[in-house]
Structure 1
């Protein structure tokens, strides 16, 4: 969902003279109030629009389903991530680039810690929301993998590398993110995610970027036979002799 659809473009005034929240935000607030009071399954779209003081058509103008009101900003964040990766060039180290892209997701959660923590707790209780969340996570992972596949095109196992690294980035990011959410948003989210993504960069960032696997047929395999119990220096000498080194 693009940011351009986030608000209807007009703020009504209350009798006290203060501005009402944009309709989209009012629907989200009403939905979560009811989810917390009644439970997710017991709350209907009709309940949400009644509390928000709008009609059903207004709800579906912003949210295709009740599940979407729980995850209102993921479409925008996914679009931002895709644009960020599309703006990359050859100077960007690819593993670091996808780690930086993952930080955009953290930024979305950190914008409103209270809402993020409430959503986390709600999602844990409702299997349908958990499944929906997993589908959203898969879309992030696919965006990262598609970028890496483009950067690793032509390499042996380039697609495999891309898919493994994308999965590792998502797993590391989500591990740190859930730790922050379990702390009710009180721990340092940025530090946790930086630490987790740093592990991914140290594991995958150097070899794929600086030392790509060469294309074409593999190098010859050299087998050296040495007597059992031979000293290590003798084994090394035999290897060097076989390879033709001085």
Structure 2
């Protein structure tokens, strides 16, 4: 990646961070500090707002429940993914499109490795959070499947294909993400993701057409009667090639 392309991405991340309300970030920081010190079940919303120095009303302005403070950016990411897929329309290879949509979720985790690793460890210890996370993952999968159903509408078993491909993309994403999280966020998340979704692309994506200079030459065989006039032979060749 060139430095010129990396700079806009850094600017976008900075703008996104600046757009997040400071109170929201303070609540998330307070919650995770308490979760690590006391445990998730032993921490109440009152404890979180007391440490953050705000009232309960402020907490519920940003988070519907205590579970939501553990996954503060998923709603934004789901909205970004849905908007990305909507902007694609009918352009591009559909399997590649949903793979790139899933990359947005990976990027959300990679924005803050230490936070993502903390959440991963916490979620593994709390069954209720694992169940909540599964519900979030299901919503991502549904967004991918809905897009693919529209693209595969004219195909035989199009709905089935859409659901299978969406599930495969999510499975590939989760495999790469968990591998990265188990490395404490120190590995190359993007490379792991590319490797994982490569299996999805090869299994379900449309093969790219080879360059024109690498395509095999067409061979046409025409059977004609012995002694047929040359114009008749030429006519039969043109008919075989589909030319008028």
TM class, shorter-chain normalised?
Answer: 0.7 to 0.9
Establish whether residue 104 from structure 1 lines up as the match of residue 104 from structure 2. Answer: yes
Deviation at 1:206, TM superposition (A): 1.9
**What count of residue pairs does the alignment treat as equivalent?**
194
Q: Distance in 1 between matches of 2:88 and 2:108?
A: 21
SS in 2 for 1:87: helix
SS in 1 for 2:89: coil
**1:194-219 per-position Cα deviation (integer Å, ceiling 9, x unaligned):** 10011100110027x99xxxxxxxxx
Q: Which residue of 1 aligns with 2:242?
A: none
Establish whether residue 76 from structure 1 lines up as the match of residue 71 from structure 2. Answer: no
Q: Distance in 2 between matches of 1:98 and 1:201?
A: 10
Q: Given that residues 28 and 69 in structure 2 are in contact (C-alpha distance below 8 angstroms), is that contact kept between their aligned partners in structure 1? A: yes
Q: Which residue of 1 aligns with 2:116?
A: 116
Greater percentage in helix: 2
Structure 1 stretches of 5 or more lacking a match?
9-21, 211-246
Q: Given that residues 141 and 167 in structure 2 are in contact (C-alpha distance below 8 angstroms), is that contact kept between their aligned partners in structure 1? A: yes
Matches within 5 A, 1:81-96: 81-96=81-96
Q: Distance in 1 between matches of 2:108 and 2:89?
A: 25
Q: Distance in 2 between matches of 1:196 and 1:156?
A: 27
Q: Which residue of 2 aligns with 1:135?
A: 135
Q: Given that residues 153 and 159 in structure 2 are in contact (C-alpha distance below 8 angstroms), is that contact kept between their aligned partners in structure 1? A: yes
Q: Distance in 2 between matches of 1:62 and 1:43?
A: 18
Matches within 5 A, 1:61-210: 61-206=61-206
Matches within 5 A, 1:29-40: 29-40=29-40
SS in 2 for 1:186: coil
SS in 1 for 2:130: helix
Q: Distance in 2 between matches of 1:145 and 1:162?
A: 5
Q: Distance in 2 between matches of 1:148 and 1:166?
A: 8
Quote the RMSD (CA, aligned, Å).
Answer: 1.8
Q: Which residue of 2 aligns with 1:233?
A: none
SS in 1 for 2:90: coil
Q: Given that residues 117 and 184 in structure 2 are in contact (C-alpha distance below 8 angstroms), is that contact kept between their aligned partners in structure 1? A: yes
Q: Distance in 2 between matches of 1:200 and 1:168?
A: 7
Q: Distance in 1 between matches of 2:166 and 2:20?
A: 33
Q: Which residue of 1 aligns with 2:51?
A: 51
Deviation at 1:7, TM superposition (A): 4.1
Structure 2 stretches of 5 or more lacking a match?
1-15, 210-244
SS in 1 for 2:140: helix
Q: Which residue of 2 aligns with 1:42?
A: 42
Deviation at 1:89, TM superposition (A): 3.0
Deviation at 1:155, TM superposition (A): 1.1
Question: Normalising by structure 1, what TM-score?
Answer: 0.76
